[in-house]
Amino acid sequence: MAQGKLLYAQSGGVTAVINATAAAVIEAARAVKLPVLAGQNGIVGVLREELIDTRKESAADIRRLAQTPGGAFGSCRFKLKDIDTDRAHYERLIDVCRAHDVRYFLYNGGNDSADTALKVSQLAKEFDYPLTCIGVPKTVDNDLAVTDCCPGFGSVAKYTATSVLEASYDVAAMAESSTKVFVMEVMGRHAGWIAAAAGLAGNGKDEPPHLILFPEVPYDEKAVLAEIQRVVDRVGWCTVVVSEGLRHPDGRFVAEAGGKDAFGHVQLGGVGPTLAGTITSKLGLKTHWAVPDYLQRSARHIASQTDYDHARAVGEAAVALALAGKNAVMPAIKRTSDQPYRWMIEPAPLKKVANHEKKMPKGYIRRDGFGITDSCRRYLAPLIRGEAPLEYGHDGLPKFVKLKRQLVAKKLPDYPL
C-alpha cells in the first residue's frame, strides 16, 4: 500500500481531454488505495490550501469525468518565478504538502508547469521532505519538448481540420455571388502546430486550406495577398488559416493589442479579422472570418480517440512513475511507427522539458511557406484518428459531469496571494 497522499493539479489552458488524464490518475491511485487530493484552481488552490477530496466523488462520476471537457478541478494562469524570487510560494507548497501528508505531486500542464514541478522537487530535496514530483503533459499547442505529441493537441487538430473542411464547402457554395475568401484564426502563439493541422482538410493544389500562415514564417503581406488573388482567380474562392502568433519580419505580432498576461505573454488582438480587413480593403474581395477561440480546445464532441488514449496513458503512467519514486520526470509519448501508428510511454527528465519549446520543423512547412509537407502530414494524420467515446442524454446533449469538489479541512493559517 502506498504511503501518504497524492496531490494532483491542473494548469494553464484546458483541453478536451485533460479530464481524461485526471480520471486516469484518480482511478490508478484508487487501485492501490492511494488517496488523491486536487488543487482547486490549480497551483493557486494549493497555495491557499484549498484541496479537493476526490474520495468524495463516486466511481461513476470519475468515469464520466473522462468524457467531460474543461478542467474539472479548476485551472489557473499563475506563474511561479524562480525559487530565489518566489521562495515564499515554494515553501508554502512544501508546508501544505507536509500538513496533509502529500508524498506525490502531479502537475498537469505545459512548459511552465513542468518548470514548477521541477523546482518543487528541488526545494523538497533541500528541505529533506519526501515528495516525488511528476510533470504530466498537456497543451493544445503541441510545443512541449521531448514528447512526440501533447495530449490535447490531437483533438484540437481534429476540430480544426474538420471545421476548415466544413466551412470550405460553405464558401464554395456561395462564392459565385457572395463570399470569395474565408479566414479562420487558430491558436498558436509561437508554434504553428494547430495551423498545420488544418492542412489535413485537403491534399492537393486546389483543395482547402489554400494558404496556412505560420508563426514560424514571417508575414509578407504582398506575397500573401498575391497568392490569395491567384487562388481566387484559379479556383473561384479561397480558404486561409492563420495562427494567432503570425509575426512581421521584425518579430512584432501582426495582431499585437498591447498589455501582457500573467505569464508575461503579449496580449493578441485577433489576427483573423485583421487579415480579413486587409483582404477586403486591398483586393476588394468579400471576406468572412472566424475565431473559434475556446471552441477549438473544448470540443469534446469531436475529440480524437488517439488523443483520448494518450491522455489516459500519461495519467496512468504518472501514477506508476510516482509510486516507483521516479522524481522530476514526465511521462512522454514516444512514436515507434507511423504506419501502422504505434507508440509507447517513457519517462523524460523535467529538466529537458521545462522552458523548452518545440516549434514546427522546417521540413514540415512547404517551401512557399503556405502549406504543410508530406512528412508533416504523416506526423499529424494518426493523431486525429478515431472518435473518443461520448455518452449522450435523451435531450441530445453530451452527458458531462459536475463534481462535488468538497474541500478538506485546512490545517494552516491563511495565505494571501
**Per-residue pLDDT tens over the stretch 42-85:** 999 999 999 999 999 999 999 999 999 999 999 999 888 888 88
Q: Hey, what's the cell of 400?
A: 458531462
Q: List 186's β-bridge partners, or say none.
A: 243
Q: State in Å, rounded, how far the first CA of the chain is from the last one.
A: 36
Q: How far is CA 412 from CA 25, 47, 49, 303, in A?
A: 26, 11, 8, 41
CA dist 241 and 170 (Å) reads 15
Cell 503556405 maps to which residue? 370
Determine contact, residues 49/98, Cβ cutoff 8 Å.
Answer: no
Q: What span, in angstroms and rounded, lies between the C-alpha atoms of 169 and 333?
A: 35
- Return the percent helix, strand and coil in the chain, to nearest 5: 40, 20, 40
Contact by Cβ (8 Å): 97, 131 = yes
Residue 128 CB-density burial (10 A; 0-12 exposed, 13-18 middle, 19+ buried): exposed
Residue 205: predicted pLDDT:
85
Cα separation of 403 and 126, whole Å? 36
Low-confidence ranges of the chain (pLDDT < 70): 1, 257-269
Catalytic site residues? 141
Question: C-alpha distances in angstroms, 2 versus 6, 132, 371?
Answer: 10, 12, 50
Q: For residues 11 and 162, give the distance between their C-alpha atoms in angstroms, rounded to a whole number.
A: 27
Element holding 282 (H helix, E strand): helix 271-283
Amino acid at site 29: A
Model pLDDT, residue 2: 77
The answer to whether the peptide bond before residue 209 is cis (omega within 30 degrees of 0) is yes
With left for phi above 0 and alpha for psi between -120 and 50, is residue 211 left, alpha or beta? beta
d(CA 152, CA 129): 33
Separation of alpha carbons 400 and 49, rounded Å: 27
Q: What are phi and psi of 342, to 5 degrees?
A: -135, 150
Name the residue among 186, 185, 209, 184 with its Cα closest to residue 199.
209
User: Residue 62 carries which side chain, given as an amino acid letter?
Assistant: I
Residue 1 has what pLDDT?
61
Domains present along the chain, CATH in parentheses: 5-139+301-355 (3.40.50.450), 153-299 (3.40.50.460)
- Cα angle 144, 146, 148 (rounded to 5 degrees) comes to 80
Q: Determine phi and psi for 333, rounding to 5 degrees.
A: -90, 125
Give the three-state DSSP class for 405. Answer: coil
Find, among 16, 357, 331, 341, the residue nearest to 192 by Cα. 357
What does the DSSP 8-state code read for residue 209?
P
Report yes or no on whether pTM surpasses 0.75.
Answer: yes
Q: Which helix (H) or strand (E) covers residue 157, if one does?
A: helix 153-174
Q: Cell numbers for 60, please give them.
A: 461513476
Q: Other C-beta atoms within 10 Å of 407: how many?
A: 16
Instruction: Answer whether 365's CB lies under 8 Å from 216's CB.
Output: yes
Cross-strand bridge partners of residue 38:
8, 52
pLDDT at 125: 94
Q: Which burial class, exposed, middle or buried, applies to 148 when counting CB atoms under 10 A from its CB (0-12, 13-18, 19+)?
A: middle
